[in-house]
Amino acid sequence: MKRIWALRGVITAAALAATTVACAGNNTKAPKGTVELGPRPFYLLTDMDEGPVKQVLQACARNPRPMQPSDFSIGHRGAPLQFPEHTEESYRAAARMGAGILECDVAFTKDQELVCRHSQCDLHTTTNILETDLASQCSQPFSPFDGSNPASAQCCTSDITLAEFKTLKGKMDGANPRATTVEGYLQGTPPYRTDLYSARGTLLSHRESIALFQQLGVKMTPELKTPSVPMPWQGTYTQQDYAHQLIQEYRDAGVPPQQVFPQSFLLEDVRYWIDHEGAYGRQAVYLDGRDSQGLDPQNPGTWQPDMATLAGYGVNIIAPPLWMLVTTDSHNQIVPSPYAEAARAADLDVIAWSLERSGPLTGGGGWYYQSVAPAIDNDGDTFTLLDVLARQVGVIGVFSDWPATTTFYANCLQRFRSASK
């Protein structure tokens, strides 16, 4: 993945005029694979505060040329704002919205096969397993709300075989903690999502996801999920076996390393890929979740290892949650954080996660926007933040739960860059 977001600085009136002219040009040849944005990017655009960025995006919205798929737009678990995550339907929706890269989070089954799930132990909230005979194999059976203790269950991919996994149906992630029945427990979809597209929900093995992504013509970013069971699993299956198996399935499918960006929150996994998996390792992504261990993006003393050390290990791409990359200045404007500036100084490429994950932004946006909550008060601020990430932080990609938003922005800013030359 190469840097394409070198454009930074103030949008001038001359550049805006040039962009407007460029956006009014004749249609170009439609891209391979039709991109359909739907209404959401334009809803967000209408809701933006007035300013030059909004004007550029409005000019782009009037552009009759078709949108192009973009590697900047990464489908986070597919398109889980409205489709059950990690399902064929979710992935197809994300690709149709122009996501150039799709994510399969990878967990392993009882028979050591790889499947697409966000967590090894989330089947009770992301599938219908509790309504099937396989519920008897769950690590923890369903326990109803008793007036004091919330309803609970735990069902893991490692509890069942691949063949059994394939009999399940994906659903929108969620559970009702006050439920007294399984049926009520499964009805926990957050109000800003929808169950309109949950009638299907086709689950995929990792190999099946690779075949689907090849068919869709997208690049791939598998995440090796941290195991929820002791390793080595079953006495022989080690963490390195697990990490190698993920890469080997791309080799077996003939996927070029340039199309694969393996990810892990465990630095040991990333370093294993760098040291042992050749070209696949050079594109390994270190998912930085060290905020749970005390990392403060404003305080370099808490970054252990620091950016230079990561680069010395051979890490080329780092991916923190988007809030770690931004802060606010004295004028309450969103600006890059010291963490973001240090990553750029170490020549690390940066990917941010995950846009449109927290629901409406009218109340400050939730966990993903915590560092800039005072500057967030409407849904249109999605584009305001995205613009800072792209043009000031210089991220090379953004995970989104609704890739149409990032696809629209990527196309508009690419056209702005071209018009400004």
Q: What is the per-residue pLDDT across 227-255, written as a single tens digit (0 to 9) for each? A: 999 999 999 999 999 999 999 999 999 99
Give the C-alpha separation, 34 to 232, whole Å.
45
Please state the domain extents for the chain.
Answer: 13-104+204-420, 121-201
- By residue count, the chain amounts to 421
For the chain, percent of residues with pLDDT exceeding 70: 91
- Say if residues 239 and 231 touch (Cβ distance below 8 Å): yes
Query: DSSP letter at 227?
Result: P
Nearest alpha carbon to residue 397 among 99, 39, 85, 172: 99
* DSSP letter string, 126-171: HBSGGGSGGGGGSSEEEE---SSSPPEEE--GGGS-HHHHTT-BB-
Q: What is the per-residue pLDDT across 167-212, written as a single tens digit (0 to 9) for each? A: 999 999 999 999 999 999 999 999 999 999 999 999 999 999 999 9
SS3 228: coil
Characterise 287 by phi-psi region: left (phi > 0), alpha (psi -120 to 50), beta (else): beta
Nearest alpha carbon to residue 298 among 271, 327, 258: 327
* DSSP letter string, 259-311: GB--EES-HHHHHHHHHHSTHHHHT-EEE--GGGGT--TT-GGG-SS-HHHHH
13-104+204-420 has CATH 3.20.20.190 classification: yes
Q: Give the pLDDT of residue 419.
A: 66
Q: How far apart are the first and last CA of the chain?
A: 22
Q: What is the per-residue pLDDT across 264-277, written as a single tens digit (0 to 9) for each? A: 999 999 999 999 99
**Does residue 25 register a pLDDT over 50?**
no
190-198 contacts at long range (C-beta below 8 A, 24 or more positions apart): 190/359, 191/359, 192/81, 192/359, 192/360, 193/80, 193/81, 193/82, 194/82, 195/171, 196/82, 197/82, 197/83, 197/84, 197/89, 197/93, 198/84, 198/170, 198/171, 198/172
Helices and strands in the chain: count of H runs, count of E runs: 15, 15
Please tell me the number of Cα atoms within 13 Å of 347 on its side-chain side. 3
Q: What is the per-residue pLDDT across 60-105, written as a single tens digit (0 to 9) for each? A: 999 878 999 999 999 999 999 999 999 999 999 999 999 999 999 9
Q: Rounded to 5 degrees, what angle do the CA atoms 180, 181, 184 make? A: 95
Q: Give the pLDDT of residue 420.
A: 63
Query: DSSP letter at 257?
Result: G
Q: Give the pLDDT of residue 171.
A: 98
Q: Give the pLDDT of residue 147.
A: 95
Work out the average pLDDT over 314-335. 97
This prediction has a pTM of: 0.92
Residue with tokens 């890269």: 101
Per-residue confidence band for 302, with pLDDT thresholds at 50, 70 and 90: very high
Work out the average pLDDT over 337-341. 98
- Residues sharing a CB contact under 8 Å with residue 185, sequence separation 6 or more, in sequence order: 130, 142, 144, 151, 153, 175, 176, 179
Per-chain mean pLDDT for the chain: 92
Query: DSSP letter at 393?
Result: I
- Say if residues 198 and 171 touch (Cβ distance below 8 Å): yes
Work out the average pLDDT over 210-220. 98
**Does residue 16 register a pLDDT over 70?**
no
- Residues sharing a CB contact under 8 Å with residue 170, sequence separation 6 or more, in sequence order: 84, 85, 86, 87, 90, 126, 127, 198, 201, 202, 203
Phi, psi of 344 (to 5 degrees): -65, -40
